[in-house]
Chains A and B, each alone.
Chain A
């Protein structure tokens, strides 16, 4: 039974300041990027880029600050389940709006 799946030992991997510091730096960088890019006209892709950067930032926080990278499969699947349900809410609701009332005005 690998350590990763042994729940009593999975969390004993202590994440150190170096990892935190690196992630912290990247997050600040991405924040500056997001704001900077907002002033460049890319039409509809502005929203795409902004959301993409937000997703990367969120992923970094979840993986490293919240230790999911080092956690058991159960916790990884739990995060996945939450994301999945949220996406179901958005996609299936959109299926109604997109076919009825998209960009109405």
Chain B
């Protein structure tokens, strides 16, 4: 289907012509039209997200194998995570995706105030997520569940919770793999969140100067794609890490 031409013919570049964009300041010189630039940028962001899918994909692959191999250890490990905090965090991220989508809408509607409001809300929700994550990680530190930092299998061999199943010592050792993957995956996700929030501050500053409410919504749009993607990663991380055999 892409056998049609993409760029407009040179005639539309003539001054006074039907050109709907008489060279806005944000049109880069190697693009013929704003539409082409916008499509290229959007496509470029999606291709970048593909690389992110494969980047996280390797981790999911490792997770899959070890969950199958050491299922009891994964169950035990998962049950030490706080499901309330996890569910809350999931809801927080979903809210932030909503506010980000609304930010894009505001930019399209050229409402600067609304755009800034939604960006601020997204930042706030992102920081809440990171805060809760910090609390959870601290809890793991206190529980001696961080591999390499005084990791202890006591909890798994002699569980304090009467409903929990006691593990044999060699299976209990495998909880280290669970927690390694937990920290690797949530850590990598958190790193992406930090980068996202930092970019959001920059976008907020630029938005305050009206950069995105005069037709140039591309950066907000593309950042939105990135933000939603980070949300999607969490959408998968949450059930995989937090909800393993919770009924026990």
Contact call A1/B4, Cβ cutoff below 8 A: yes
Please give, as numbers and ranges, the residues of chain B lying within 8 Å of A34 by CB-CB distance. 238-239, 243
Binds A, one of B86-94, B122-130, B137-145, B201-209: B86-94
Contact call B35/A86, Cβ cutoff below 8 A: no
Contact call A97/B65, Cβ cutoff below 8 A: yes
Residue B102 is within 8 A (CB to CB) of chain A in the complex: yes
Q: A86-B57, A89-B58 are in contact. Are A75 and B97 (CB under 8 A)?
A: no
Contact call B228/A31, Cβ cutoff below 8 A: no
Contact call B247/A41, Cβ cutoff below 8 A: yes
- Which A residues between 48 and 86 are near B, CB-CB below 8 angstroms? 50-51, 53-54, 57-58, 61-62, 64-66, 72-75, 78-79, 81-83, 85-86
In the assembled complex, the Cα of A72 lies from the Cα of B4 at a distance in Å of 14
Q: Interface size class for chain A?
A: 35 or more
Contact call B246/A8, Cβ cutoff below 8 A: no
Number of A-B residue pairs having CB atoms within 8 Å of each other in the complex: 150
Could you tell me the distance in whole angstroms from the C-beta of B55 to the nearest C-beta in chain A?
10
Contact call A50/B239, Cβ cutoff below 8 A: yes
Please give, as numbers and ranges, the residues of chain B lying within 8 Å of A21 by CB-CB distance. 98
Please give, as numbers and ranges, the residues of chain A lying within 8 Å of B91 by CB-CB distance. 28, 31
- Which A residues between 77 and 105 are near B, CB-CB below 8 angstroms? 78-79, 81-83, 85-86, 89-90, 93-94, 97, 101-105
Interfacial residues, chain B to chain A (CB-CB below 8 A):
1-2, 4, 6, 33, 35-36, 38-39, 42-43, 46-47, 49-50, 53-54, 57-58, 60-61, 64-65, 68-72, 83, 87, 90-91, 94-95, 97-98, 100-102, 105, 108-109, 171, 174, 224-225, 228-229, 231-232, 235-236, 238-240, 243-247
**Extra inter-chain contacts (13) besides given A20-B98, A86-B54, CB under 8 Å:** A15-B101, A28-B94, A31-B91, A31-B94, A51-B240, A54-B235, A65-B228, A75-B42, A75-B43, A81-B50, A86-B57, A90-B61, A105-B174
Interfacial residues, chain A to chain B (CB-CB below 8 A):
1, 5, 7-11, 14-17, 20-21, 23-24, 27-28, 31-32, 34-35, 38-41, 46-47, 50-51, 53-54, 57-58, 61-62, 64-66, 72-75, 78-79, 81-83, 85-86, 89-90, 93-94, 97, 101-105
The 10 closest A-B pairs by CB, nearest first: A8-B35, A50-B239, A38-B243, A82-B50, A38-B246, A24-B98, A7-B39, A41-B247, A82-B53, A86-B57
A-B CB contact pairs (8 Å), 15 listed: A7-B35, A34-B238, A35-B243, A38-B247, A50-B239, A51-B239, A51-B240, A58-B235, A66-B228, A78-B46, A78-B50, A82-B50, A86-B53, A86-B57, A105-B71
